Structure 1
Amino acid sequence: MTTACTNLLKKEFPSMDSETKQYIEGILTGGADDFESGDDLYDAIGDLLHQIAAEKGEDDIRDLCEQFLCIMRPSDHGNKGGHKVLDAPKSLGQMAANLEGIQEDMSSIWVVSRDDNLKVNSKKLEKAQQKLQQKQDKRSDVVKPAPNAPQLQTATASQVVSKKDNQLESKGNNRSMDIRIENFDVSYGNKVLLQNADLLLANGRRYGLVGRNGLGKTTLLRMISGKQLTIPSHITILHVEQEVIGDDTSALDSVLECDFVRQRLLKEEKDVAAEVNAGSTDPALSQKLTEIYANLELIESDKAPARASIILIGLGFTKEMQSRATKTFSGGWRMRLALARALFSKPDLLLLDEPTNMLDIKAIIWLENYLQNWPTTLLVVSHDRNFLDTVPTDILHLHSQRIEVYKGNYEQFDKTRTEKHKAQRREYEAQMAHRQHVQEFIDRFRYNANRAASVQSKIKMLEKLPELKPVEKEVDVVLKFPEVEPLNPPVLTLNEVAFMYNKDKVIFECLNLNANLESRICIVGENGAGKTTLLKIIMGMLTPTNGMINQHRGLKYGYFAQHHVDQLNMNTTCVGLLQDAFPGKPVEEYRRQLGSFGVSGDLALQLVASLSGGQKSRVTFAKMCMARPNFLILDEPTNHLDIETIAALGAAINKFNGGLILVSHDERLIHMVCKELWVCANGTVTSLEGGIEEYKRLVLKELADAAAK
């Protein structure tokens, strides 16, 4: 029996190590009475066998256990249970009276006797499993996380829905286009983002959702679009978050496909027309074709291509680009295409998360003008102060786990909030002064019998006063770039520089530019004009096809890439990210560096993947400045930053004693730091004397001329 079990074990598991093999053989050869069935044997050794041969399924292992049991008990294979069969009725009373013989008889009825030596040795089992796991980890190069390593958390939402709303929804009687989400909570892991919050979105209003990075703005949009918060079923929602998947469909057709009613009618028209052309004389077909034409005319189907083309042109798609397949576009252009599809389809609720991130100034101005006439409900998260001053009719301020509504644009919200805080502060200070005055009277005459009635009256008055809380003041955001040593000019010079990707695609010709540590240069231009390419030429990441670049030998760049998130390791903590990039320093130094950019406390120990977009940007700044650069190259650094952090970034740049070249579409930041404006267009770079205001004037004139045509 021992030999048969061993042979079968070798045959089925040839790669089994000797220690595990010895352990399993000990169980198999220890005694058949230890196992009542193949299932019992599977419970004892099944997990080990699965680990040894992961390719074998559960049924295969169970069949093997039955085979082992047959080998162990060949004579009793027919009676798999292995129980003793009583040959006559037993009287329990007589058995109890005869205690001397009861043990053997009772055990034969219901007690399964086991030899302790045959039981599964838990220590040996654990040792064998650990050894197998070590081998598997080594084979697959799996690095197990530390026991206390932070885990990536997920967002959850809960909501109390009234019986009235449930009844209306179940009966299909709720036809209101207003969206009311009451008494809801949103959490991210253990962090509560919103608690007992209410949100009312009136039909046709345009809402700007603002608040500090990491408070849950993007998460709230995802909860709404994912229907984790209850929305009336008849309301269509479109959340522009993911880029269009590329295929052979043209950009224009991709937008037109969003009109499902038009697409259905066109297909029906094609099918019915095919039957008529095939010779069918059914009068119902002619009637149906007439109805289809009437419906197409009703929805102005013939005007749809022109309307889609206008949207695409506004977002930067030329006529040639509109006919190109979507798979030929980069991720940024596919995001623009997703925005175009949303604008064309006109859902009942449109959710936009940082729509200006993918746009140049020209496209932003067009989008602002377009959304001012948006017919349905709009909820947009944006950091662009000009956009928030132009588009929203209302501002939703997310703070302190709740949402406050303010009428008007961001400028009006800022004024109203400031005045509100001043009034609250005055009311709080006045009440505290009044309380102190009354308390002094109480303390002075507490033990004066003649004033006892007055004292009691004052005490009751204090108890009835509403308890006011001090005004919550948001912590100011502070960013700090490193102090650097000065460099004697010239620091950076481009002489007759030209660049082309191939012979047919010339990007620049004859660039003559220079910069020093006092430079505050901002670069503007349409997408595709070569702004990022120019930055890479300056830093030596791309080699010019002609010309010379002269740099000071002490020049040290700090580069903030437009798609910085792609460069971050999402599976490590913020501190771990700096440790990997700059090993060998004390943990306190990494935390101090992160703290210089507002990533402090527990936030510095979170996984990078769990951070908001703005928090990831701050971590990128901290990593960039760890090398102490003396010349900053920032490509769209405001993407994902909140308004307060953008202001802090401008202040930090102005205090920085090194050089700066900035690519940005954020007018507020450009106004704060720009001393020289470079316009990238038509294969060259020119300096514009009038600054950003002059550039905007030229863009508006160009848009007006295009509209006139």
Structure 2
Amino acid sequence: MASCADILRSEFPDLDGEVFAYVTGILHGSGADFESVDELVEAVGELLREVSRDAKDDGAIREICQRLFNTLQLDEGRAQRCSQVLLDAPIQLSQITDGYDASVDLLPGLLLKRGQTSMVNAKKLEKAEARLKAKQDKRMERDSLKSSGPLVLEEASASQAASKKETRMESSGKNKSYDVRIENFDVSFGERVLLAGADLNLAFGRRYGLVGRNGLGKTTLLKMIASRSLRIPSHISILHVEQEVAGDETPALQSVLECDTTRESLLREERNLTAKVNAGRGEGTEGARLSEIYAKLEEIEADKAPARASVILAGLGFNAKMQQQTTKEFSGGWRMRLALARALFARPDLLLLDEPTNMLDVRAILWLETYLQTWQSTILVVSHDRNFLNAVATDIIHLHSQRLDTYRGDFENFMKIKEERLKNQQREYEAQQQYREHIQVFIDRFRYNANRASQVQSKLKLLEKLPELKPVDKESEVIMKFPDGFEKFSPPILQLDEVDFYYDPSHYIFRSLSVSADLESRICVVGENGAGKSTMLKILMGELAPVRGIRHAHRNLKIGYFSQHHVDQLDLNISAVELLARKFPGKTEEEYRHQLGSYGISGELAVRPVASLSGGQKSRVAFAQMTMSCPNFYILDEPTNHLDMETIEALAKALNKFRGGVILVSHDERFIRLVCQELWVCENATVTRIEGGFDQYRDILKEQFRKEGFL
């Protein structure tokens, strides 16, 4: 097979000697770095086209590059087979340097002696070499990341100024208050400071909603409190609902009852003592101890515990049969509900909840709102659900600018007061600026007037004493945009006709299901967990085939899908830019960055490992990936999970402006009201369209609660 040099000589017989030396140097020096013919065309194709005397077109140049690429691949294979022999050969560096002429200057990609004039466009050579160097640097960076072993993520840490008074009270055991006061503390994540000199005061019995933008440290703060990295009196019990319950042979109801360790310990001791007495192995003191145990069990109302646990489980969606199933039989989402049920049953002094509504359907959220309104101890909850916060929170804590600001009242009240505060702050700042300018004019006018010297000095001192007010630090607006893929298709666009579906023939998920959507649709699917919402979405997309019935989709329909488990589909060990480059090769880094920037992943966020991003930031990466191919129809499964409120508002606006169809599953009431025009209720193996929208659906759920005795 001809060498690269032979191909160049035959195709470009009049090729300038310097260009020939440059191109062959690139091919033989970096041939192993070319992963495709496109990369080779990008490196030398433009240069070859410029110097071609017979004006070869793009197709001819690409064909030549293909031959060069094939030759390089063959040479690489030979080199790998001979690598052991070549490496064993001694390398005489002195022989190499002896032949080097120190009077030679380096030009882009080749050697030219001083005084020699190049016929080549030096700028084009520099540009070609710069492209190649950037490609090589990127590959080296990726290879070094792979060779560095498993990804090690930064860790969160907290520090706090010590108070002698609190330390004394804690050590003496005199502190009986259940209020939480954490003063002058810092929280960091790696080198990034999340909170600096912050104060957090939680009054016992109040319910606090913690809000703020994605990535500012809300979840990290909860973890620091739960791990007691921040000082909290030891007599205050803390429960953080973070991880799902482990799957084992324990029935769901028993798993919840076991949270009450006092009750479990007393019952265990009662069983042991009773067994001793019945076996005749007693020592005579068992009767008195049993009387004490029965008194304590009566005091803590131990007999009512199973009923209380059952009510909590039922409210969270566990029917009587499910309550007797072992925990290992439940999926991760249901085991997270179990973790929440255990926390509610245990009734800690400080309950920490991180996005509790993410794992719940609308029915369970409505029940949880009602249940928490009568909670006796303290709650600190991170949530993006405005309606949930309005129903539950007595106070709002706003995390921003590395500090915490507390507001009395629900979320709507917080928004009003915050806006008023910001307006007042801006007015005070502008008034002070005008006052400063007025004084400065006087100083500048009479600075060199001896008769006014004392007045000027007085004004200067006045300026120094003025408190330094800062302008309002407005949070940047979140903007999302879904590229339009709108074309006028003749209906039907997407349709299911008399569809039956099951995973197990003994249990139908759907019977005779008939639904349809078009490019103007804004449909929300609601229903209890396990009713088949996600399954229906997968049938609509064609991922699952109906057992009976027909799925029809227009031939030009291009669906973008957002999964509620979208994080599982992202490679967490690489950056967001590299993620898009792998999924959609052939574009520039600037194009990938622009796409990510459209969803709020800009600057250093775009090049950090995806694993180091917050939950909301990972969701934005998933949106950027989903919209890269410009679908004309979106199917979104719980798209608001992990997003902050500003991003949810931006997502709603983007969907309303999008010229195409949308079907989504969501439990966020405000988001549903902002976006959807149709409501489909998934229940009893079919889907029902509710004419009255979300208001009617909410009324139906409340009526069910009343019948079941929950309200």
Once the two structures are superposed, the pairs formed by residues 159-198 of structure 1 within 5 Å of their partners are: 159-198=160-199
Residue 451 of structure 1, CA deviation: 3.7
Distance in 1 (CA, whole Å) between partners of 2:427 and 2:544 is 59
Q: Check conservation: 1:487, 1:554, Cα contact below 8 A.
A: no
Counterpart of 1:335, as a letter, is M
Residue 152 of structure 1, CA deviation: 2.3
Residue correspondences, number: 575
Match of 2:289 in 1: 288
Q: Check conservation: 2:499, 2:549, Cα contact below 8 A.
A: yes
Q: Deviations over 1:453-498 (max 9, x none)?
A: 4333333222222111101100011111112231313111221112
Once the two structures are superposed, the pairs formed by residues 83-102 of structure 1 within 5 Å of their partners are: none
Match of 1:549 in 2: 551
Moved more, 436-445 or 591-600: 436-445
Q: Check conservation: 1:210, 1:396, Cα contact below 8 A.
A: yes
Q: Return 5+ residue gaps in structure 2 as ranges.
A: 1-83, 89-142
Counterpart of 1:405, as a letter, is T
> Alignment partner of 2:195: what SS?
strand
Residue 435 of structure 1, CA deviation: 1.6
Counterpart of 1:582, as a letter, is F
Larger radius of gyration: 1
Q: Deviations over 1:47-68 (max 9, x none)?
A: xxxxxxxxxxxxxxxxxxxxxx
Q: Check conservation: 1:574, 1:605, Cα contact below 8 A.
A: yes
> Alignment partner of 1:700: what SS?
helix
Q: Deviations over 1:169-191 (max 9, x none)?
A: 22333222111111111111111
Match of 1:60 in 2: none
Distance in 2 (CA, whole Å) between partners of 1:150 and 1:259 is 39
Distance in 2 (CA, whole Å) between partners of 1:419 and 1:193 is 26
Q: Check conservation: 2:367, 2:710, Cα contact below 8 A.
A: no
Taking a change above 3 Å as real, the CA distance of residues 147 and 288 of structure 1, as seen in their structure-2 partners, is: closer
Distance in 2 (CA, whole Å) between partners of 1:483 and 1:436 is 50
Q: Check conservation: 2:495, 2:540, Cα contact below 8 A.
A: no
Match of 1:362 in 2: 363
Residue 18 of structure 1, CA deviation: 12
Residue 442 of structure 1, CA deviation: 2.6
Counterpart of 1:206, as a letter, is R
Once the two structures are superposed, the pairs formed by residues 139-178 of structure 1 within 5 Å of their partners are: 145=146, 152-178=153-179
Q: Check conservation: 1:207, 1:378, Cα contact below 8 A.
A: yes
Does 1:258 find its partner at 2:280?
A: no
Match of 1:390 in 2: 391
Residue 232 of structure 1, CA deviation: 1.3
Of 673, 685, 689, 1:671 maps to: 673
Q: Check conservation: 2:211, 2:397, Cα contact below 8 A.
A: yes
Q: Deviations over 1:261-295 (max 9, x none)?
A: 11011111111111111124643111111111111
Q: Check conservation: 2:315, 2:710, Cα contact below 8 A.
A: no
Distance in 2 (CA, whole Å) between partners of 1:682 and 1:707 is 22
Residue 437 of structure 1, CA deviation: 2.0
Taking a change above 3 Å as real, the CA distance of residues 543 and 536 of structure 1, as seen in their structure-2 partners, is: same
Taking a change above 3 Å as real, the CA distance of residues 205 and 427 of structure 1, as seen in their structure-2 partners, is: same
Q: Deviations over 1:21-79 (max 9, x none)?
A: 9xxxxxxxxxxxxxxxxxxxxxxxxxxxxxxxxxxxxxxxxxxxxxxxxxxxxxxxxxx
Match of 2:466 in 1: 465
Match of 2:700 in 1: 698
Match of 1:334 in 2: 335
Match of 1:574 in 2: 576
> Alignment partner of 1:458: what SS?
helix
Counterpart of 1:521, as a letter, is I
Distance in 1 (CA, whole Å) between partners of 2:182 and 2:595 is 41
Distance in 2 (CA, whole Å) between partners of 1:506 and 1:305 is 32
> Alignment partner of 1:669: what SS?
helix
Residue 501 of structure 1, CA deviation: 1.4
Q: Check conservation: 2:276, 2:282, Cα contact below 8 A.
A: no
Match of 1:58 in 2: none
Q: Deviations over 1:291-322 (max 9, x none)?
A: 11111111111100000000000000000000
Once the two structures are superposed, the pairs formed by residues 441-590 of structure 1 within 5 Å of their partners are: 441-490=442-491, 491-590=493-592
Distance in 1 (CA, whole Å) between partners of 2:86 and 2:232 is 60
Match of 1:242 in 2: 243
Q: Check conservation: 1:570, 1:609, Cα contact below 8 A.
A: yes
> Alignment partner of 1:283: what SS?
coil
Q: Check conservation: 2:247, 2:328, Cα contact below 8 A.
A: yes
Q: Check conservation: 1:479, 1:648, Cα contact below 8 A.
A: yes
Q: Check conservation: 1:151, 1:607, Cα contact below 8 A.
A: no
Counterpart of 2:205, as a letter, is G
> Alignment partner of 1:209: what SS?
strand
Once the two structures are superposed, the pairs formed by residues 104-123 of structure 1 within 5 Å of their partners are: none
Distance in 2 (CA, whole Å) between partners of 1:514 and 1:700 is 29
Does 1:274 find its partner at 2:278?
A: no
Taking a change above 3 Å as real, the CA distance of residues 332 and 510 of structure 1, as seen in their structure-2 partners, is: same
Match of 2:659 in 1: 657
Q: Check conservation: 2:182, 2:199, Cα contact below 8 A.
A: yes
Q: Check conservation: 1:489, 1:516, Cα contact below 8 A.
A: no
Q: Deviations over 1:67-113 (max 9, x none)?
A: xxxxxxxxxxxxxxxxxxxxxxxxxxxxxxxxxxxxxxxxxxxxxxx
Match of 1:85 in 2: none
Q: Check conservation: 1:493, 1:549, Cα contact below 8 A.
A: yes
Distance in 1 (CA, whole Å) between partners of 2:294 and 2:513 is 57
TM-score relative to the length of structure 2:
0.78
Match of 2:637 in 1: 635
Q: Deviations over 1:102-130 (max 9, x none)?
A: xxxxxxxxxxxxxxxxxxxxxxxxxxxxx
Match of 2:226 in 1: 225
Distance in 2 (CA, whole Å) between partners of 1:465 and 1:294 is 67
Q: Check conservation: 1:654, 1:673, Cα contact below 8 A.
A: yes
Distance in 2 (CA, whole Å) between partners of 1:149 and 1:278 is 58
Distance in 1 (CA, whole Å) between partners of 2:537 and 2:151 is 37
Q: Deviations over 1:378-418 (max 9, x none)?
A: 11100000011111111111000011111111111111000
Moved more, 197-206 or 604-613: 197-206
> Alignment partner of 1:208: what SS?
strand
Q: Deviations over 1:524-581 (max 9, x none)?
A: 1111111100000000111111111111111011100011111111111111111121
Taking a change above 3 Å as real, the CA distance of residues 486 and 449 of structure 1, as seen in their structure-2 partners, is: same
Distance in 1 (CA, whole Å) between partners of 2:581 and 2:661 is 27
Distance in 2 (CA, whole Å) between partners of 1:531 and 1:448 is 82
Counterpart of 2:606, as a letter, is A
Match of 1:436 in 2: 437
Distance in 1 (CA, whole Å) between partners of 2:668 and 2:329 is 28
Q: Check conservation: 2:679, 2:693, Cα contact below 8 A.
A: yes
Q: Check conservation: 2:327, 2:335, Cα contact below 8 A.
A: yes
Match of 1:27 in 2: none
Of 609, 612, 618, 2:611 maps to: 609
Counterpart of 1:214, as a letter, is G
Distance in 2 (CA, whole Å) between partners of 1:324 and 1:443 is 83
> Alignment partner of 2:198: what SS?
strand
Q: Check conservation: 2:151, 2:573, Cα contact below 8 A.
A: no
Counterpart of 1:640, as a letter, is H
> Alignment partner of 1:239: what SS?
strand
Match of 2:352 in 1: 351
Residue 655 of structure 1, CA deviation: 0.9
Does 1:301 find its partner at 2:340?
A: no
Counterpart of 2:617, as a letter, is Q
Distance in 1 (CA, whole Å) between partners of 2:153 and 2:341 is 33
Distance in 2 (CA, whole Å) between partners of 1:652 and 1:432 is 39
